[in-house]
Chains A and B, each alone.
Chain A
Amino acid sequence: MTKPTNTTSHEATIADELALNPDHHEHHEHHIPKGMMRWVLTTNHKDIGTLYLWFAFIMFLVGGAMAMVIRAELFQPGLQIVQPNFFNQMTTVHGLIMVFGAVMPAFTGLANWLIPMMIGAPDMALPRMNNWSFWILPFAFAILLGSLFMEGGGPAFGWTFYAPLSTTYSNDSTGLFVFSVHIMGISSIMGAINVIVTIFNMRAPGMTWMKMPLFVWTWLITAFLLIAVMPVLAGAVTMVLTDKFFGTSFFDAAGGGDPVMFQHIFWFFGHPEVYIMILPAFGIISQIVPTFARKPLFGYASMVYATASIALLSFVVWAHHMFTTGMPVYMEMFFMFATMLISVPTGVKVFNWVATMWRGSMTFEVPMMFALAFIVLFTIGGLSGLMLAITPVDFQYHDTYFVVAHFHYVLVTGAIFSIMAAVYYWLPKWTGRMFNITLAKWHFWCSLVSVNVLFFPMHFVGLAGMPRRIPDYSLQFADFNQWISIGGFAFGLSQLIFLALVIQACRKQGEPVSDRVWDGAHGLEWEIPSPAPYHTFETPPVVK
């Protein structure tokens, strides 16, 4: 699609020398500080991308361990392993970690690595802020995890921290929760500002808006969503804080407030937030599918417009999370139809991916396997979403495992699978070596089977009325829950394969790869050497 046509001689020499003469490496990287301090002080977008990705991976494993506790408790009806209060802390912190610690930082890591390389920029626009936005994150999560060890435990009110659960009925660790969410918010806002400024100001000559790779487009729109709604989340946690500790009554009916208002404010943030977690995934899939179908993306412009309209619509559908709060009928109808409207641009995207593959010369390398699984399984999640959008039906499904099934299909087999697809797709570019394909296939097939054993039966128990976030359940759900738990353990273990694979790759094991890595790959990042040198595009390429 894009190709730097007049690579400057300077760049060409670096490229050639790095590829042909690995000894030259040392000479060129002598100014990279060594040891720990390199990572603490780095302002290099590739280093920061790597930090984000490793952080996200560690959080994914920590949050996953909590999911294992949940599934172990739910293996049988009755209380076996943990007490209800601890169970609630596990569901709460699992959700918070996966959303704010795993999915979002992983996307930010990918943005850091890829956006400059895709638009032909030498780095992010604000490298020092970039360093800050990463390095405050570990503190946020240390505080959140630390709160679990406080007297009375950590947050136990669900990741949605509904008032009055988080105000009247929570313990003092709520202060730490609020503080850590503030830090997470500041980090993602800084990350988003950086992405926007980079994309606006640092594109290489000739990289016009409608030539930008879709990953860049989707991230740009995501970044705008982030700066629009993360501050609202910050406001919501602040109100919880003052209600709890400083005597205000935003959400307290006795003082003239309204607990339902909490839900409005939260979901005004919360629904755009779920799109923050899926738009970059759409971008990734739109990069991968054309590569392995060996055809340009079908309907590039419609992809851009669909992304933008999803983002805009996401601001007017929030109350589909609140159908059972007693809204008047005409508002229920409005939110029902607005929600269903979102599936139109979403459908456009799925259509375009399928049309890209139509009559393509498809091959099924590991990134493509994950991308295909994404398309199928994300669509299942979209369809259950559509069912939930039907107001009268939602009265039955709300707060059951059906909702849990829905959002795990869109988030695990959606967002997380896209992140894995992205890692497999770009990892050879980052390390210069092909990853262990056998392990990767094991990882794929184990994950694919187990994730469906894990989440598909949740639809059934949900429809049958099993409520979410409860440590016990009635006997008739026992068989399904056993299957779900087995799927859960298997999915958890499968991720250790991924861990082993990534560690191998970072140790530079495996066959060296060519610059293009995948023969159907297009875009600036495939024009530079593999592994991507520490500094790229110091002289901007010219995009024709």
Chain B
Amino acid sequence: MSGRASNQNMVIRLVVIVVGMFGFGFALVPLYDVFCDVAGINGKTATTAAVYQPNQIDKSRLITVEFLTRTNTGMPWEFQARTKRLKVHPGELTTVEFYVRNPMRTNYIAQAIPSVSPGEAAIFLNKTECFCFNQQPLAAGDEAVMPMSFYVDPQIPADISYFTVQYTLYDVTARADTLDTKDNPYLKRTSATP
């Protein structure tokens, strides 16, 4: 029969596995993101601007892109897509606009999170400009019109002819880096309270 020492040895090795698996649980977080990024499957789009290459427009195809907006529970802003749906040629640069208004008596900071469905289309949606790249501050009563410019990668698979981009607006006032509401470049009309 093996003695105490060999028990201790095994316990140590098993505890190492336990600690390793605890770490692995957390490692799943970046792994998940990397995997989804590479495979482009969870409907997430890039968080930084793409650079537009103008010469490769595929006139033979038309892709329907639909825009949906929603506000997260507890987010009181008005939020609408000015263009609900449009058809684009792959490679063609297009700009659409979104309208927001802060109807409250306090300043808010918002963050828009896009989600593309079907998820496989996400990596073919290239945004050269998007309000979702930054947090959006809006003073009480203010409105803004926020542009989003994109082109669809001509490599988009032939079986995708229609996809939906949904923006969800989250209230991040509590956790935001303090942004000056006057800084908002998209500001359209302010309620002019000094």
Tell me the A residues contacting B by CB distance below 8 Å: 125-126, 168, 189, 193, 196-197, 200-202, 227-236, 239, 247, 250, 253-256, 258, 260-261, 264-265, 268-269, 326-328, 331, 540
Q: Which of A196, A231, A258, A331 contacts B22 (CB 8 A)?
A: A231
Q: Are A201 and B175 touching (Cβ within 8 A)?
A: no
Say yes or no: is B72 at the interface (Cβ < 8 Å to chain A).
yes
B residues 1-35 in Cβ contact with A at 8 Å: 1-2, 6-7, 10-11, 14-15, 17-22, 24-26, 28-29, 32-33
- Complex CA distance for A107 and B126, rounded to whole angstroms: 54
User: In the complex, which residue of chain B has the Cβ closest to the Cβ of A269?
Assistant: B25
Q: Are A201 and B17 touching (Cβ within 8 A)?
A: no
Q: Which of B21, B33, B168 contacts A253 (CB 8 A)?
A: B168
Q: Which of A193, A228, A255, A328 contacts B15 (CB 8 A)?
A: A193
CB distance from A197 to the nearest CB of B (A): 5
Q: Which 5 A-B pairs have the closest CB atoms?
A: A235-B25, A254-B170, A231-B22, A231-B21, A232-B25
CB distance from B29 to the nearest CB of A (A): 6
A227-B17, A227-B21, A254-B72 known; A235 and B172 CB under 8 Å? no
- Complex CA distance for A258 and B36, rounded to whole angstroms: 11
Q: Which residues of B contact A540 (CB under 8 A)?
A: 1
- Complex CA distance for A373 and B14, rounded to whole angstroms: 37
Q: Which residues of B contact A247 (CB under 8 A)?
A: 175
B residues 39-98 in Cβ contact with A at 8 Å: 39, 41-44, 47, 72-73
- Complex CA distance for A227 and B24, rounded to whole angstroms: 12
User: In the complex, which residue of chain B has the Cβ closest to the Cβ of A235?
Assistant: B25
- Complex CA distance for A189 and B39, rounded to whole angstroms: 35
Q: Which residues of B contact A269 (CB under 8 A)?
A: 25
Q: Are B28 and A265 touching (Cβ within 8 A)?
A: yes
CB distance from B117 to the nearest CB of A (A): 7
A254-B172, A331-B41 known; A189 and B28 CB under 8 Å? no
Say yes or no: is B102 at the interface (Cβ < 8 Å to chain A).
no
Q: Are B41 and A328 touching (Cβ within 8 A)?
A: yes
CB distance from B37 to the nearest CB of A (A): 12
Q: Are A328 and B72 touching (Cβ within 8 A)?
A: no
> Looking at B21, B42, B43, B175, which has the most chain A CB atoms within 10 Å of its CB?
B21
We find that the number of chain B residues with CB closer than 8 angstroms to chain A is 40
- Complex CA distance for A56 and B74, rounded to whole angstroms: 42
Q: Which residues of B contact A200 (CB under 8 A)?
A: 10
CB distance from A467 to the nearest CB of B (A): 20
CB distance from A210 to the nearest CB of B (A): 19
User: In the complex, which residue of chain B has the Cβ closest to the Cβ of A256?
Assistant: B47
Q: Are A326 and B22 touching (Cβ within 8 A)?
A: no
B residues 93-117 in Cβ contact with A at 8 Å: 111, 113, 117
Q: Are A258 and B25 touching (Cβ within 8 A)?
A: no
Say yes or no: is B120 at the interface (Cβ < 8 Å to chain A).
yes
- Complex CA distance for A540 and B1, rounded to whole angstroms: 9
Say yes or no: is B119 at the interface (Cβ < 8 Å to chain A).
yes
Q: Which of A126, A228, A232 contacts B7 (CB 8 A)?
A: A126
12 contacts between A and B (CB under 8 A): A126-B7, A126-B11, A193-B11, A201-B7, A231-B21, A231-B24, A232-B22, A232-B24, A256-B47, A261-B32, A326-B43, A327-B119
A227-B14, A255-B175, A326-B117 known; A125 and B21 CB under 8 Å? no
CB distance from A313 to the nearest CB of B (A): 18
> Looking at A126, A234, A235, A260, which has the most chain B CB atoms within 10 Å of its CB?
A235
